A and B are shown apart, each in its own frame.
Chain A
Amino acid sequence: MCNPEEAALLRLEEVFSATLAHVNSLVLQPLLPAAPDPSDPWGRECLRLLQQLHKSSQQLWEVTEESLHSLQERLRYPDSTGLESLLLLRGADRVLQAHIEYIESYTSCMVVQAFQKAAKRRSEYWRGQRKALRQLLSGVSSEGSVGASLGQALHQPLAHHVQQYVLLLLSLGDTIGEHHPTRELVVNAVTLFGNLQSFMKQELDQAVATQALWHTLRGRLRDVLCTPAHRLLQDSQDVPVTVAPLRAERVLLFDDALVLLQGHNVHTFDLKLVWVDPGQDGCTFHLLTPEEEFSFCAKDSQGQAVWQWKVTWAVHQALHGKKDFPVLGAGLEPSQPPDCRCAEYTFQAEGRLCQATYEGEWCRGRPHGKGTLKWPDGRNHVGNFCQGLEHGFGIRLLPQASEDKFDCYKCHWREGSMCGYGICEYSTDEVYKGYFQEGLRHGFGVLESGPQAPQPFRYTGHWERGQRSGYGIEEDGDRGERYIGMWQAGQRHGPGVMVTQAGVCYQGTFQADKTVGPGILLSEDDSLYEGTFTRDLTLMGKGKVTFPNGFTLEGSFGSGAGRGLHTQGVLDTAALPPDPSSTCKRQLGVGAFPVESRWQGVYSPFRDFVCAGCPRDLQEALLGFDVQSSRELRRSQDYLSCERTHPEDSVGSMEDILEELLQHREPKALQLYLRKALSNSLHPLGKLLRTLMLTFQATYAGVGANKHLQELAQEEVKQHAQELWAAYRGLLRVALERKGQALEEDEDTETRDLQVHGLVLPLMLPSFYSELFTLYLLLHEREDSFYSQGIANLSLFPDTQLLEFLDVQKHLWPLKDLTLTSNQRYSLVRDKCFLSATECLQKIMTTVDPREKLEVLERTYGEIEGTVSRVLGREYKLPMDDLLPLLIYVVSRARIQHLGAEIHLIRDMMDPNHTGGLYDFLLTALESCYEHIQKEDMRLHRLPGHWHSRELW
């Protein structure tokens, strides 16, 4: 059964549809040709707006026809067609949208007075149509202008129509009763169309106010402010408000901008970037913008409420890009605009951001979160911001003078400056990797020239406020030199060691890049020069030369005409050969660079990280980037630019690392854990070790592989082991504190040494072994050469003759071990006696762990004793009278290369707690074998002569 309201709605739609058609043919169609001159900018704008109005009118007519059709269907087939089939109920949103678009187009035309302008161009025509227009405007005075009448004709039927919608739908709701299944739909439609009524009135009011504003503005102001899309929401001339610190004469709030007029100046603020800050007292509130802050003060609290509400609402709408229906006083509080927003803005004020455009996340007037900054000069910054400043990870590009070249910084920032770890790739192809502070290189860092640089160099060391300072290593590829020593203000300054490709070493004092005072120079042939030197390391002035054979030349030196060193002095040929520790085995730099302070720039960031409690956001800033290859670093750059999710899985979570520490404290588990941690480039300890390896190679590889640096290197390795252990303890303390526990009281020296030498040092030695062992090889090259000769000579002996030659007691010879062939005799057997001990000793070369090497020695002794006990048929404790000859035999059969280097490395790296103990004894015994084999009678003894064979026969 149909309701009377439905029939009424049907008639209403019929009338409205006819009215729309009539208005279109009577008003809109004639208006289009009458639009102002298209050659005029304003004319073009009016034409565009009128065309838009015409289009939205068509859409409104179409939706009305559709609604009419649904009503007709309902009335024709009431039994099979439900009430909900009506478009006004089912598709209320669509009807609403058509009305909204129409009214927005209409008000835009109204603001620019398009109707008046069009009417002027064909005034005779419209004067003739006055009577027809009057028929559309029932109840309206006929004294209005033609333009005003046109406007009325385009608006009044719509307003009337929507009003009728509301009335009829309300009545329909009452008629069908509260229990009708479609009632909710009807109630909802009433609400929507009621809101539409309010919206329409609001839009008209704003349009009228905006139009009125246009009349009050002149010249440039009018051109700047009066655009069709602008709607005036509030004017300080209506509700007075004063603005501080700017003394604005007038404040205009538009739907997309806040405008302050100050004399001839216009200050415009995009509402997307305006934050409202409620004031403390009832008459004032504050506004935050990217570059300025204002206090708004009204005469009374009511005025303040109006302004604050209007601005808040306008900001809210600007951010959402669409208009809502609430009006002032409706009792509906607008939701507060979010503090965090995304927007683009170009800075104007003088300062570092002048003319820069920021696009990204904002918070309360400042860049905050992820964003991009671009300057007109080509500078570019992508990264994280905090309170308006760069903070966190960021990438900055700085264009350079040469075309298409730029510096690229990938760095951590703090409060607008680079701070923490970063990588900078310069337009010159140089690369810096290290720490920054306040935008300058500071702390540890490596600066390296590009691969094709004409003068290649690399500096690895400490920086201070952008300059080399403190301990650092510089490799000069062009001169084939490496400087190891102190720097100040970018220059060599203080104690330093210079090592050259030619094997020349200099130690002395530098000042402003020049050598000053006395120094020493060692040449590759182990000559020693003492005196003062030029930059080219030539002896100058008083000095002394000690030659390898002990001769000394003392006097005055200089470079004369031509080549070579000129001297006038005394040659002393009676001197004894020099003490090796002052020439061929002299160690440079020891004491000049205390080992504890050498690499503080590497340790400090780690300590800072631990002291801060290992916060995740500082992990990369203090420990370096979590990348395993440069490709991943590039991906990191992409992540910033493309807003991609950072691959969390590639980073070992700091929480997981700390948790794992607590699960691996028992000695065996700890060893396995540390082994994994140190080899993991993502683990803090692994990163620390990796950096230390880098510094070690920068110092002791290549040109730095020089025997005079061996002491410097070995003490450095041991220091690193101590620091790594301290680093582990630091992480452990943080892990325990997170559980509310405390680390046990400080470990004593003995326990720490045990852990350092027994646990950490073996695990990290492989990382340094290549460079370190090379230094030992070079230092002990001469002795190892003699030893090799001895080994080679002793290898010529068959087993029994060697045992006899070495004075091994005959009753200890393991002849029963030998299995002779039918033609073989004992005297011809070779490499069979004490074979198990020999093979055991050879294992000393298969490990870099000093403790394992010592354990090999212990097992070797066990094999010797076992063999002897078997020979004697009883347990026998070998005194040294018996053991040493046997050990020499085994060592000569084992033929270990570079035994001298091995022995000295073990001694330097072994736990000092072993001093005087079992391992010290074993190592000393091995060393005495080594010394013995170097002796002349070992190296030069001849095989027995032919007569000896005859005698046996």
Chain B
Amino acid sequence: MMAIRELKVCLLGDTGVGKSSIVCRFVQDHFDHNISPTIGASFMTKTVPCGNELHKFLIWDTAGQERFHSLAPMYYRGSAAAVIVYDITKQDSFYTLKKWVKELKEHGPENIVMAIAGNKCDLSDIREVPLKDAKEYAESIGAIVVETSAKNAINIEELFQGISRQIPPLDPHENGNNGTIKVEKPTMQASRRCC
């Protein structure tokens, strides 16, 4: 049996940028025996192998409306990683992304892994955010950056693989804040699909 690390991942970004679509695509792809129950597209889980460990992502969606921004700390509290999503066809969503990054830097968990996802890359013909801008910004803050398409399943897997590689190894002498060690037997469960 492999050790399972549970990793809480928080989704941040404007409404309509496709936060939950990215995760739905991630969860539904690649048949897996260990899918846990979800709350629609708001809470989802998926376990993937990473080196000698299994990483079980506990993925929390957040409401992107401006009026709900003050509630975000409750959601990213204790997260091992944050996926901050913008829409490449909307410059405003990239500005919002920068605000989220700033907040995480100031108030988020220490050592949180940040991943930037430029979604809707299948609409590059009406792009408003150049890829170069995103890469430069990501590099400046030490974050992972990929452009994704939930619709076409582009770079979804790569996004989460990048997060796994960035997660610091667990100190064997203590339970880190980034997750807990559990030994779990795989169980067969019916696969639930989402559109």
On whether the beta carbons of A916 and B20 are closer than 8 Å, the reply is no
Q: B74: which of A916, A918, A928 is its contact (CB, 8 Å)?
A: A928
Does A658 sit within 8 A of B, measured CB to CB?
Answer: no
CB-based contact B42/A878 at 8 Å: yes
Please tell me if the beta carbons of A879 and B61 are within 8 angstroms of each other in the complex: yes
Please indicate the chain A residues that have their CB under 8 angstroms from the CB of B41 in the complex. 877-880
Kindly list chain A residues whose C-beta atoms are within 8 Å of the C-beta of B87. Answer: none
Asked whether, in the complex, the Cβ of B78 is within 8 Å of the Cβ of A877, the reply is: no
**Residue in chain A with minimal CB distance to B15:** A881
Closest to A748 in B: B183
Q: Kindly list chain B residues whose C-beta atoms are within 8 Å of the C-beta of A861.
A: 39-40
Residue B104 at the chain A interface, CB threshold 8 Å: no
**How long is the Cα–Cα vector from A717 to B127 in the complex, in angstroms?**
57
- Indicate if the CB atoms of B20 and A880 lie closer than 8 Å: yes
Q: A877-B195, A932-B71 are in contact. Are A885 and B60 (CB under 8 A)?
A: no
Shortest C-beta distance, B185 to chain A (Å), equals 12
Q: In A910-934, which residues have CB < 8 Å from any B CB?
A: 915-918, 921-922, 924-925, 927-928, 931-932
Contacts of B6 in A (CB 8 A): 916-917
Any chain A CB within 8 A of the CB of B120? Answer: no
For A884, what are the chain B residues with a Cβ–Cβ distance below 8 Å?
63, 65, 68, 71
> In residues 736-761 of chain A, which contact B (Cβ within 8 Å)?
750
From A881, A922, A927, A928, give the contact of B39 (CB < 8 A). Answer: A922
B8 proximal to A (CB < 8 A): yes
Residues of chain A contacted by B194 (CB below 8 angstroms): 877
Give 1 or 0 for each of A875-896: 1 = CB within 8 Å of chain B CB.
Answer: 1111111011100000000000
Q: Which residue of A lies closest to B19 (CB)?
A: A879
- A921 contact from B15, B19, B39, B70, Cβ within 8 A: B39
Is A931 touching B74 in the complex (CB atoms < 8 A)? yes
In the assembled complex, which residues on chain A have CB atoms less than 8 Å from the CB atom of B162? none
Q: How far is the CA of A884 from the CA of B19 in the complex (A)?
A: 15
Contact of B37 with A918 in the complex, beta carbons under 8 Å: yes
User: Which chain B residue lies CB-closest to A857?
Assistant: B39
CB proximity of B41 to chain A, nearest CB, Å: 4
In the assembled complex, A807 has its CB within 8 A of some CB on chain B: yes
A865 lies within 8 A of chain B by Cβ: yes
Q: Which residue of B lies closest to A937 (CB)?
A: B67
Interface string of B68-84 (1 = CB under 8 A from A): 10110011001000000
Q: How far is the CB of B59 from chain A (nearest CB, A)?
A: 9
Closest chain A residue to B80, Cβ basis: A916
Is the beta-carbon distance between A928 and B42 smaller than 8 angstroms?
Answer: no
Say what secondary structure dominates the interface of chain B.
mixed
- Say if the beta carbon of B24 comes within 8 Å of chain A: yes
| Interface Cβ pair total, 8 Å cutoff | 93
Please give the distance in Å from A783's CB to the nearest CB on chain B.
Answer: 14
Given known A-B contacts A877-B40, A878-B40, A880-B42, A928 and B71 have beta carbons under 8 A apart: yes
* Known A918-B36, A918-B39; contact A885-B20, beta-carbon cutoff 8 A: no
Chain A residues within an 8 Å CB radius of B37: 918
A214 to chain B, nearest CB (A): 95
Bound CA span A881–B75, Å: 14
With both chains docked as a complex, state the minimum distance between the C-beta of B107 and any C-beta of chain A, in angstroms.
Answer: 15
**Beta-carbon contacts of B150-167 to A below 8 Å, as 1s and 0s?**
000000000000000000
- Most chain B C-beta atoms within 10 Å of own C-beta, residue among A881, A924, A928, A935: A881
Considering the complex, give the chain A residue whose CB is closest to the CB of B60: A921
Tell me, in angstroms, the Cα distance from A932 to B67 when the chains sit together: 9
In the complex formed, the residue of B with least CB distance to A864 is B40
In angstroms, how far is the closest chain B Cβ from the Cβ of A507? Answer: 28
User: Which of B16, B38, B63, B67 contacts A880 (CB under 8 A)?
Assistant: B63
User: Chain A residues near B71 (CB, 8 Å)?
Assistant: 884, 928, 931-932
- Would you list 14 pairs from A and B whose C-beta atoms are within 8 A, ordered by A residue? A879-B21, A880-B11, A880-B41, A880-B61, A881-B63, A881-B65, A884-B65, A885-B65, A917-B36, A918-B38, A921-B42, A921-B58, A927-B74, A932-B67
Task: Give the interface of B toward A (CB within 8 A).
Answer: 6-8, 11, 15-16, 19-21, 24, 36-43, 45, 58, 60-65, 67-68, 70-71, 74-75, 78, 180, 182, 194-195
Please name 10 further chain A to chain B contacts, defined as beta carbons within 8 Å, in addition to the given A878-B42, A879-B42, A931-B74, sorted by A numbering.
Answer: A750-B182, A807-B65, A877-B20, A878-B41, A879-B20, A883-B39, A884-B63, A916-B7, A922-B39, A928-B68
